[in-house]
Amino acid sequence: MTTPELVFSVLALIGAGGAVLLVTAKNVVHAALYLVVTLAAVAAVYLVLTSEFVAWTQVLIYVGAIVVLLLFSLMLTRAPIGREALDNQQRGIAALVGAAILGGLAYLLNDAFRGARIELEPTFTADVGEQMFSTYVLPFEVVSFLLLAALIGAIVLARKEDA
């Protein structure tokens, strides 16, 4: 086991643990904090995979913005405490479905990519920017338009109606 693999394994265990705690937490605020753990672990995984720009975007957008947004909406809505209040009655079936998806994916992926290895080479943020504004400039514009539409939609939805 090489050093990057060891680091990745530790980070993956942290992230997986955070994910399990997130979906089983009894308190919604704790769930949001476990989400931070998982998102930060995923950001660190990006760093191990040498994709530093994606890693910092993950930290900025996910940990910085989305989690704060989720926490604010938890504060604005009354969230009860306890598994019975937060979960529905399908917990057993849901666990079954999740385990089936995990088992199926693990079998298929291991079957298809057995022995495949990622050779780590540094990637540079300059290259990401260059590709983003040359090869992928049209998707970039479409995504920015989508973001603008979402922004206006959120304002329209959340605004108080004054008759």
Partner 1 sequence: MIRLPLVLLFSAFLFSAGVYGVLARRNAVLVLMSIELMLNAVNVNLVAFSRYLKDVALGGEIFALFVITVAAAEVGIGLAIVILIYRNRETVNVDEVNLLRW
CB atoms within 10 A of CB 162: 4
Nearest distance, CB of residue 162 and partner 1, angstroms = 14
At closest approach, how far in Å is the CB of 50 from partner 1?
7
Residue that is written with structure tokens 């079954």 in the block: 96
Among the listed residues 26, 37, 38, 40, the single contact to partner 1 using CB under 8 A: 38
Which residues 129-148 are close enough to bind partner 1 by CB under 8 A? 131-132, 135-136, 139-140, 143, 146-147
Q: Residues, the chain, total? A: 163
Indicate whether 163 belongs to the interface with partner 1 (CB under 8 A). Answer: no
Whether the Cβ atoms of residue 9 and residue 44 lie closer than 8 Å to each other: no
Neighbours of 27 (CB within 10 A): 15
Residue type, 2: T
Task: Please say which residue, 76 or 163, places its beta carbon nearer to partner 1.
Answer: 76
Least distance in angstroms from the C-beta of 52 to partner 1: 10
CA 142 from chain centre, in angstroms, equals 22
Q: Which of residues 68-97 bind partner 1 (CB under 8 A)?
A: 69-70, 72-74, 76-79, 85-88, 90-91, 93-95, 97
